[in-house]
Amino acid sequence: MAFLDKINDFAKVATEKTNNAIESTRLSVKIEGEQRTIDAIIKKIGEYYVAKIDSGEILEEEVMSMYEGILSGREKIEELRTEIESLKSPKEVPAEDEPAKKICKNCGKEIDASAKFCLNCGTQQ
C-alpha cells in the first residue's frame, strides 16, 4: 500500500506544479497586456508633446534636445523619400520631334545620335 501512496503523492505534487505553471503563465500574459497598455499611453503622451512643440510651444531644455532628434529623423526621411521618388520617375526621354544627340568624337560638335558621320567634320562615328 505504501507504494500506491507514494504514486498518489507524486501525482498530487505533479498536478500542483502543473497548475502553478499554468497560473504563472496566465499571470505573465496579464502582465504583458498591462505593459502594452502602458506603452500605448506613453506613446500617446509623447505624441501629445510632440504636437505641442510642432505647433511652436517651447518645453524644457531636455525635451527640446530630444526633439532635435525627431527633427533630424524627419529630415532624413524626407531626403530618403525624395530619393525614392527620383528612382520612380522616368528618365528624361527626348521628345519624338527632337532626335537624341551625341557629341562628335573628333570635333566635339553636337550631332544626331543616329548619325554615322559628323555633319561638321565628316568623321565616322
111 grid coordinates: 550631332
Tell me the pTM.
Answer: 0.53
Q: According to the model, what pLDDT value does residue 73 have? A: 96
pLDDT in tens, the chain (125 residues): 788 888 988 899 999 999 999 999 999 999 999 999 999 999 999 999 999 999 999 999 999 999 999 999 999 999 999 999 888 876 655 556 666 889 988 888 898 888 888 888 788 88
100 with 112: CB under 8 angstroms?
Answer: yes
110 grid coordinates: 553636337
Q: State the Cα–Cα distance between residues 42 and 68, nearest whole angstrom.
A: 19
Q: According to the model, what pLDDT value does residue 108 have? A: 86
